[in-house]
Amino acid sequence: MNLAVSRYILNHMVQYAGTVLDASFAALSDATRRGILEQLGRADASITDLAGKFRMTLTGMKKHVGVLEQAGLVTTEKVGRVRTCKLGRRGLEQEAAWIEQYRQSWAARFNELDKLLEELKHKEKTDGRKKQS
């Protein structure tokens, strides 16, 4: 495979992952949409049922479900006049991996800060003993 093609494929993959993460985090940024996911985790529900549960208009609920659907977190199926919502097939593995990467980075930084503070405390104690002598 030539280098230009390899770069294109890699760049396309990065852009795709970014697009998926952007859509997911945008969908998850709203408390109502997180609530919808929690509700659908317990049982499938119609848009009418969800609208009633969240005290929202049907139009508003359709918009929220649409955002979740675009992110791949929810699927809908229309049977007759009823549109039923259920959790999508795509889990949150990519999002969890992204968060975990940054959690580990922050944990390492805090560990280094803890070490520095311990060194400073130890030095302060040692210097205090030298002054008393």
What is the CATH classification number for the domain harbouring 47? 1.10.10.10
Q: Are residues 1 and 30 in the same domain?
A: yes
Point out the least confidently predicted range of 40-44, 50-54, 61-65, 100-104. 100-104
Q: pTM score, two decimals?
A: 0.68
Residue 74 domain boundaries:
1-90
Q: Are residues 14 and 32 in the same domain?
A: yes
Q: What is the pLDDT of residues 80-105, one digit of tens each?
A: 999 999 999 888 888 888 889 889 98
Residues of the chain with pLDDT > 70, as a percent, come to 83
Burial class (CB in 10 A: 0-12, 13-18, 19+), 98: middle
Q: Are residues 63 and 7 in the same domain?
A: yes
Nearest one of 24, 46, 11, 35 to 98, comparing CA atoms: 24
Q: Are residues 32 and 46 in the same domain?
A: yes
Q: Are residues 25 and 82 in the same domain?
A: yes
Going across the sheet that includes 45-46, the strands are 45-46, 82-87, 74-79
